[in-house]
Amino acid sequence: MQLNQEEFVVLWNIECSSQTSPERAAEGSGNTKEKYEHIFGKLCEIGLISAQKKDNTFYGALVNENGRKVLKDKKYLDWIPD
């Protein structure tokens, strides 16, 4: 499984910046909530986050153990936000 930079940053922000929903992730980013819903869906599908979904919207996403392993992977070091 390989993440692109945008997916990695979203994963990082879920873990480190409390951006636990697509709505929070979209605030101030210049991207749409729908774009983040797609990314959250992929991260959930590949088993990197656990999230509740209600009315087709993600709430309360948390990075799980597999996601934390990805966050610690050295190949992604250059993508860690400041």
CATH architecture of the domain covering 5-76: Orthogonal Bundle (1.10)
pLDDT band at 10 (very low <50, low <70, confident <90, very high): very high
Judging by beta carbons within 10 Å of its beta carbon (0-12, 13-18, 19+), is residue 72 exposed, middle or buried? exposed
Give the domain ranges of the chain.
Answer: 5-76
pLDDT at 1 over 80: no
pLDDT given at position 72:
96
pTM of the shown model: 0.92
pLDDT given at position 35:
96
Spacing of C-alpha 29 from chain mean position: 14
pLDDT tens-digit map of 15-70: 999 899 999 999 989 999 999 999 999 999 999 999 998 888 888 899 999 999 99
State whether residue 31 is helix, strand or coil: coil
